[in-house]
Amino acid sequence: MMERKNHLDSTAMTLMVVLCFAWGIQQVAIKVANGGISPVLQAGLRSLGAAVLVLAWSRARGIRLFDRDGSLGAGLLCALLFAGEFTFIYWGLNYTSASRGVVFLYTAPFIVALGAHLFIPGERLRPLQWLGLACAFAGILAAFGESLGLPTRSQLQGDAMLFLGAVLWAATTLLIKGGRLAKIAPAKTLFYQLAGSALLLPLVSLALGEPGIFDPTPLVLTCLAYQTVLVAFASYLAWFWLIVHYPAGRLSAFSFLTPLFGVLAGALLLSERVSLALAAALALVVLGIWLVNRPSR
């Protein structure tokens, strides 16, 4: 019987900060790897490598991935949503800027919180927690909102794609939390996603006319390995475990840290400029996370 908690303890909060930091570094890894491998194909290769790692890890741990347990339909839908999420994100960034894209992508925590509030028993948020989400999103606007203005037709198309990516991201989280997948091993849920997207994303790459692998330097391959081993395998396995055991809305509030950690990683690893607004953004996000996870009296 899986233990489910109605609040985040220190283990969950520490793990979420570590995961967000890893996902922030991934933003830099993707940017570097884009110089040698097309983005959507890169995501497909990442999924393929991580699926092999999950298969090996599950066999070593005695986790049965292929037993009939009634989860196949939900698992295939989860894989489709996962592949669609990355397709819209990577495709949309061809039409809009990354800073605009972050603002639309990080509407996902609101969608997760609303879906959990409506459909998952015991995960209704209080008004103060909704205020916390709004506060954290204000931090994202403080860091990236300067790029927002009247969009061109191309930017509007890209913004819509990033928002669809956010919807699919949230739908995946809610499907895992509220359905049959919450009752199976997190490794099997992850394997569904990785195996399905490993098949679908290379086909999407071909359909988009991407150039494929064109300059696989050691640095590019190292960045791909980081995405495969530490992100798609280790961090996603931890994330699915967290979703099963803790409230989805409260966990999602931490995800606002990811793009800010990405900016910091870009400054440290790529010597990118950091604006003074980042400090205010971090303060707003931390305040928002505290409000979302503040114990009720």
Helices (H), the chain: 10-33, 39-61, 72-92, 98-105, 108-119, 127-144, 153-178, 186-208, 218-226, 236-245, 248-254, 257-270, 277-293
Instruction: Decide if pLDDT at 1 tops 50.
Output: no
What mean pLDDT do residues 83-96 have? 85
Report if residue 65 sits inside a domain.
yes
For 235-244, what is each residue's pLDDT tens digit? 999 999 999 8
pLDDT (average), residues 245-271? 87
What's the whole-model pTM score?
0.88
Q: Span 147-154, mean pLDDT? A: 78
Residue 252 forms part of a structural domain: yes
Domain range enclosing 83: 10-293
In this structure, is residue 48 part of a structural domain? yes
Q: What is the pLDDT of residues 257-269, one digit of tens each?
A: 999 998 888 888 8
Is pLDDT of 133 > 90? yes
pLDDT for 297: 63
Mean local confidence (pLDDT), 15-28: 92
Number of compact structural domains in the chain: 1
| Per-residue burial over 10-28, b = 16 or more CB atoms within 10 Å of its CB, e = otherwise | eebbebbeebbbbbbbbbb
Q: Is residue 3 part of a domain?
A: no
Distance in angstroms (rounded) separating the CA atoms of residues 59 and 185: 13
First to last CA, the chain: 29
Structural domain contains residue 36: yes
User: In this predicted model, what pLDDT tens digit does every residue of 172-226 receive, in sequence order?
Assistant: 999 988 888 888 999 999 999 999 999 999 999 999 899 999 999 999 999 999 9
Is residue 5 assigned to a domain?
no
Q: What is the mean pLDDT of residues 98-127?
A: 86
Query: What percent of the chain shows pLDDT beyond 90?
Result: 54
More confident residue, 284 or 91: 284
Residue 3 predicted with pLDDT over 70: no
Judge whether 4 lies within some domain: no
- Write the single-letter amino acid at 36: G
Domain assignment present for 240: yes
